[in-house]
Amino acid sequence: MDIQTIKLDLILWLSQLQDASVLQKLQSVKEEHGFTLSEAQKNLLDERLESYKNNPDDLLDWEDLLKELEDRL
């Protein structure tokens, strides 16, 4: 399994995860590794957040997006 497939699998799993203790452990791991965003990444997130605020109904259906991603793999 390649790295992108692993990431997509983990994203799907996390999006459905309800176990608070597992989420807290994952949060701790994330904090230990000191993840930071570059200025370019922060700017892109700001742009996307602004786009969402301006067009909150312009969204993609999760199931459609997941199918499209799976079809690409």
Tally: H helices and E strands in the chain: 4, 0
Q: Model confidence over 11-68: pLDDT tens digits?
A: 999 999 999 999 999 999 988 887 788 999 999 999 999 999 999 998 888 999 999 9
Cα–Cα distance, 9 to 13 (Å, whole number): 6
| Prediction pTM value | 0.42
List the structure tokens of 58: 């312009």
Cα–Cα distance, 66 to 68 (Å, whole number): 5
